Amino acid sequence: MKAPGGSDAAKRRAGEHAADTVSDGDVVGLGTGSTAAHAIRALGRAVDAGLDVRGVATSYAARDLAREVGVPLTDLAAVERIDVAIDGADQVSDDLALIKGGGAAHAREKVVDAAADRFVVVADPSKETATLDRPVPVEVLPDARATVRRAVRDHGGTPTLRTAERKDGPVVTDNGNLVLDCAFGPITAPESLATDLATVPGVVAHGLFVGLADAVHVGHADGVRVRTTD
């Protein structure tokens, strides 16, 4: 479930600004979505100009784009740590908690973003909010969808199975699983909800990213504002 789109120019400024922080020799987590795509394209140009990096893709889409623009890739399964991850978000709260997974890529994104020494979020101002309140994407094992639905309701949420737009039936993730978009209203305690959802059997990964982001680069008409937790 995608957030209503912000300005592409703002996304591009944020993506390019974050790509500029990558150093020679870095292993770089390549996020998914329209904002992270600008960072991948900027990295491709930097590689053309001589930057030596290896990318770790968070989805088929990120991998295909990296190949297209010439960012050399390594496998997620082959790396133990990542120098910097650059990734988008569907919502960013005042204290840099995130909702991710609008493109159903949050399971691999969480592995990559959490493994990064520096996790940089790229966003446009439409993603900023005081309190997270969008539905939380929850990737589930297909056979666990009914039991997970019940558990989400027990935690006060309203789950909706994500359906595909140009295919009949549900969205199937890059990992072969399904996604429940779970509405909780305003999320005043994201850390405890994150723990509750992570412990439900059958949940592969959810889209609440709490305490992971080191910085958020927000693109504006006149430049980029960098937000940190400090």
Q: Which of 68, 109, 139, 191 is catalytic?
A: 109
Q: Which of residues 32-61 bind ligand R5P (CB under 6 A)?
A: 32-36
Of the candidate spans 30-38, 70-78, 151-159, 166-174, the one that interacts with ligand R5P by CB under 6 A turns out to be 30-38
User: Which ranges in the chain belong to alpha helices (H)?
Assistant: 8-19, 34-48, 60-69, 106-115, 145-154, 190-198
Specify the residue, 22 or 213, whose C-beta has the smaller distance to ligand R5P: 213
State the sign of the Cα–Cα–Cα–Cα dihedral 193, 199, 201, 204: positive
Q: Encoding tokens for residue 203?
A: 């949940």
> Do 148 and 202 meet the contact criterion of CB atoms below 8 Å apart?
yes
Active site residue 139: no
Q: How is 132-179 classified by DSSP, letter by letter? A: --SPEEEEE-GGGHHHHHHHHHHTT-EEEE-B-SSSSSB---TTS-EE
Closest residue to ligand R5P, Cβ-based?
33
Whether 44 has a binding-site annotation, put simply, is no
Minimum CB separation of residue 104 from ligand R5P in Å reads: 5
Interface pattern 109-148 for ligand R5P (x via CB under 6 A): x---------------------------------------
Q: In residues, how long is the chain?
A: 230
Contact residues for ligand R5P (CB under 6 A)?
Answer: 3, 31-36, 87-90, 100-106, 109
